[in-house]
Amino acid sequence: MSKQVTRAVGLVVLGVAAVLASTQAVAVDQDLLKILRENGAITQKQFKQLTEKKVASDASVISAVKDTQYKISTGKKGISIKSTDGAYEFAVGGRVQTDVNFFFPNSEAGNGMEARRVRLKGYGKLAHDWKYKAEIDFSEYQKIDLTDGWLAYTGFDNVTIKVGHQKVPFSFQSENSSNWQTFQERAQTDAFIDTPYLGRRRMGLTVAYDNDLFYGRAGAFAAGINEDGEFNQSFGTAARGLVSLVNDEDKHFHVGGSVHYRDTTVNDGVELRFKYHPEAHIGGTWIDSGSDLSEDSILAANAEIAGFLGPLHGQAEFTTMNVERTGGLTDLNFYSYYAEVGYFLTGEQMNWKQSAGQWKRVKVGHEVGNGGIGAWEVAARYSHLDLSDGSFSTAGRTNNWTAALNWWATNNVALRLNYVFSDRDLVTETPEDDFVHALTARAQVVF
């Protein structure tokens, strides 16, 4: 090949290489450039310029690709998509809890089986400092409820500001997820929280602060999205705080308390009422204050204590409910308490999260399917609820004893078996038995 043809080819290669380098579409092959240099088609200076452009082009392409990369992961917490810099995240999770109850003697509501909770959630992070969550529940026939629906800002050290539909910061067991509670149902103190008027979740604004010693969350709340009554009905405030006196990997102990106030004078079509079932949900209403309370406002107070030492764990709460009444009527004072203790036979322990003030997922040491037998737990609880006060004593009081056997087969699958004995002391005579035995079971999948 003549030098003229070789140089012509070289010029063409130079032009193509320049275009490719400038568009960053394809990098010039370095071996080809070496051949052209050895054949005299390009000079050493030109070879150096082209290889430098190649490196720059490759770096730009790699950088551009890197900026658009993301990581998809699956695991015990569901499916997650994250940007490589960690600034953005979207995850999907949920739970299915299927219950069956048998009563001896049979309760007013009868034996039965139900989809206790069927939830799907989407949650994640935006621009590092923003978090969000939206969760819906399909468990009620022909009805979809919003449980959590909030946006939170976490840009300040140890502070979280959250707005939207969220849990009211009152009571330890109420703030804990039903996924990780020891017993199938919450204790009777929940009668003062999960009502159509007060509610476990409400639209509101909260501010939370935590460090190694202290956790606290407080806020103001309007109505709940899923409740009856007019929009935004009455307003209230609530706050919960705790001090972790011991907070190590294998042991924890804290004391705390919470308060809840709500003005109930608004005529919104929702009646204040306290009622509860035996600690077996399908059993129906077991004790009921009735709705004729003539309420003006409520002020509830709660004290809590909880901890674990290796596989041994326990917690207790005491709650009082003061109902200020209209028309000069005497205020009503109700109360409830419970105490529970549990033990992991296979050596696991409770999982405490200080920044949330809650128990979290039990970490199963040896999962079924990976050569293990799962985590086995036994527990017992006593609870008392008193809805009688002075002349207002038609509701009476109840006592519940519950024993539990839990099998955490994997980090996502759990089976529960509870035995419940409940007796009640009603002021009015009733033809029904004043006690009931219940055997309850739950199959739970959480992802």
Average pLDDT over residues 375-384: 98
* Whether the predicted pLDDT of 2 surpasses 50: no
3-state secondary structure of 84: coil
Contact 415, 409 (CB under 8 A): yes
3-state secondary structure of 242: strand
Give residue-wise pLDDT tens across range 299-329: 999 999 999 999 999 999 999 999 998 888 8
3-state secondary structure of 22: helix
Give the chain's length.
447
DSSP character string of 292-334:
---EEEEEEEEEEEEEEETTEEEEEEEEEEEEEESTTPPPEEE
Tell me which CATH homologous superfamily contains domain 95-114+179-446: Porin (2.40.160.10)
Residue ranges of the domains in the chain? 3-67, 95-114+179-446
In the structure encoding, which two tokens stand for residue 276, read together? 């509860």
Write phi, then psi, for 326 (nearest 5 degrees). -90, 170
Write phi, then psi, for 29 (nearest 5 degrees). -75, 125
Cis ω for the linkage preceding 105 (within 30 of 0): yes
3-state secondary structure of 293: coil
Give residue-wise pLDDT tens across range 384-435: 999 988 767 678 899 999 999 999 999 999 999 999 999 988 766 555 558 8
Average pLDDT over residues 251-274: 86
188/378 Cα distance (integer angstroms)? 20
219/169 Cα distance (integer angstroms)? 8
Q: What is the DSSP letter of 241?
A: E
Query: What does the pLDDT read at residue 4?
Result: 47
Contact 231, 223 (CB under 8 A): yes
Average pLDDT over residues 47-56: 64
Contact 88, 82 (CB under 8 A): yes
Q: Indicate the pLDDT class of residue 100, thresholds 50, 70 and 90.
A: very high
